[in-house]
Chains A and B, each alone.
Chain A
Amino acid sequence: MAVSYNGVTKSFRGRLVLDGISDVVNEGELTALLGPSGSGKSTLLKIIAGLIPLDSGRVSLAGKDVTNTPARDRHIGFCFQDYAPFRHLSLRENVAYGLKVQHVARAQRREQVDELLRLVRLEEFAEQYPHQLSGGQRQRMALARALAIKPDVLLLDEPFAALDAQVRAELRSWVHSLQQELGITTILVTHDQVEAMEIADRLVILNAGKIEQAGRPSFVYDHPATEFVASFLGPITSLGGISYRPHELELVSTNEPGETLEVREVVRLGFEVRVILGEGEGPTTWVQLTHDQAKHLNPRVGERFGVRVRSLKSSSSQSSPTRESTR
């Protein structure tokens, strides 16, 4: 079901958190609301769910205005960052909560809960209580609980933030495939650009209560509309006053025409090597090399190299200058 919001404005105690923002989320899409903390992304998610009232603006689900509809009637699945497990209920009772509210008959309820538990692979933990589960298991429980009411839209607030790196990566791809399998319109809030780029069909980048840019991840990455989006989506460096992604630059021999810089620092990070170059007191430039390239060039501190923009064929993305620096 498509979700749209128009001119959504919200302030808390005189501080403007959302400044008249509008967007449309298409049916079946996974949209990531990406932004730094305090950008208003979680507030927006709660407004869509009807958990907090907005000051002005409208929210629609499938074209129907729900601005004044209470959360309980919006039919939206919502998962909090802390998963908000009902501590006094077993996993099964947690998942069954929404069905009980809808007065689903006991036998049918049991069947549906079993199916959901299978879906989130928690069958054998059905009788456990939330405090007996791991973070990842609690997260899947929260998801099953939200899915139980067969919501039209799924809203996930920082779903992976509280998990450790390995579990996070696993769950991320699992949630992605689950979402594709169910085809449910999903909005996910995150501050992690890698996470957003990996699973979202569409990115909405928020900063200080405003949408900076929205679009397909690869497009937004390659064509950031603002300085903020460029720096938020990945590292940027500058060469001759123009901003580039570090991997868009390459090192060449001093014999080639063009500017040369002195190597200041070489940082080896496993499969990639970060070379930082500079000239006198001037600004430094960061060039990202693959392990093989570094082995071939073998840059050392104090050596000089030519730095230039990588040619089109060697880069997966377009290597037009990202944008004029504001310097």
Chain B
Amino acid sequence: MRRSSLVLRVLVVAYVGALLALPLGFVFQQAFSHGWVQLWAALHDHAMDLAIVLTAKVAILAVPLNVLFGVGVSLWIVRRPSRVSRVLDVVIDVPLALSPIIVGLVLELAYAQNGWFGSAFAAMGLRVMFSYPAIVLASVFVSLPLVSRQVIPLLREVGDHQEQTAATLGAKPTRIFFTITMRSIAWAAAYGVTLTLARVIGEYGAVLIVSGNIALITQTLTLNIGANFDNFNSYQGFVGALLLALVSVLVLTVIGVSRHRLERKRHGSFV
């Protein structure tokens, strides 16, 4: 095996270390800078705790919605291709090219009281903007393609012969889905779900616009961190950041493991 030079290796480790690892470590250093007692108290900050609850509530709805949609659309695009599904394949990637700020803006334009849907919802006595539904909408929007982008290539690679064989053996579609399809795409789906979760928990710009950023009411954890920072309470901000950093380390672990499993699947000894 050809090796890169030691100089290159040192340069790369230094760059990645300074750009990525240093900030991550710095979050931990800042959060612990005032000692355990202070940290414990900061963790019980009322506004932050409410923000954590809201973020959890958003994730609990947004992630399953996108997983359901992502897997379903992937099956449609790969297993039942049609003109409609080909259009879908392109549209579904649109959120990736959009600035979070633009996502927030378009949702506001459609769902504000004077917007296209907003007026209809308002007539029904529902307020979408600056409330929980709007935050869910924004979270779902920004993370829309993350599951299908992982699942689609794997579905293509695995092919439909296993599913068809199961059908000739008498299995009904639901059974085929759970015993064959789901088992082949499990790791890709896990990877996609983790990316989705990370994106939903971490979204800032889009949620900033659609939630109205009202403390104690529509403030998610990311918004709470930003607000603490803007109010010169950076220590409290870093305590929130610590929680998100811990989640991101967990996310990285899951991503690393599922990618490893996926690669093993790809390079398996199959002809």
The chain A residues found within 8 Å of chain B, CB to CB, are 46, 49-51, 70-80, 82, 84-88, 97-98, 101-102, 130-131, 135, 142, 145-146, 148-149, 162
9 A-B pairs besides A82-B271, A142-B165 with CB distance below 8 A are A49-B168, A71-B164, A71-B168, A72-B171, A78-B165, A82-B161, A86-B165, A86-B180, A97-B171
Query: Which of under 10, 10 to 19, 20 to 34, or 35 or more describes the interface residues of B?
Result: 20 to 34
Dominant SS among interface residues on chain B? helix
Q: Which of A51, A87, A102 contacts B167 (CB 8 A)?
A: A51
Contact B268 A131 (CB under 8 A): yes
Within 8 A of A (CB), among B144-187: 159, 161-162, 164-172, 175, 179-180, 183-184
Q: Whole-angstrom distance from the CB of A135 to the nearest CB of chain B? A: 7
The chain B residues found within 8 Å of chain A, CB to CB, are 159, 161-162, 164-172, 175, 179-180, 183-184, 268-271
Kindly name the residue among B175, B179, B183, B269 whose own CB sees the greatest number of chain A CB atoms within 10 A: B179
Contact B167 A70 (CB under 8 A): yes
Give Cα A77 to B167, complex, Å: 10
Contact A87 B162 (CB under 8 A): yes
Q: Whole-angstrom distance from the CB of A43 to the nearest CB of chain B? A: 13
Contact A101 B169 (CB under 8 A): yes
Contact B162 A74 (CB under 8 A): no
Kindly name the residue among A73, A80, A135 whose own CB sees the greatest number of chain B CB atoms within 10 A: A80
Contact B270 A87 (CB under 8 A): yes
Give Cα A46 to B270, complex, Å: 23
Q: Whole-angstrom distance from the CB of A261 to the nearest CB of chain B? A: 47
Q: Whole-angstrom distance from the CB of A245 to the nearest CB of chain B? A: 36
Q: Whole-angstrom distance from the CB of A187 to the nearest CB of chain B? A: 13
Task: Using known A-B contacts A71-B168, A102-B170, A145-B169, determine if residue A88 contacts B269 with beta carbons closer than 8 Å.
Answer: no
Contact B271 A72 (CB under 8 A): no
3 closest A-B pairs by CB: A84-B161, A98-B169, A78-B168
Contact A149 B180 (CB under 8 A): no
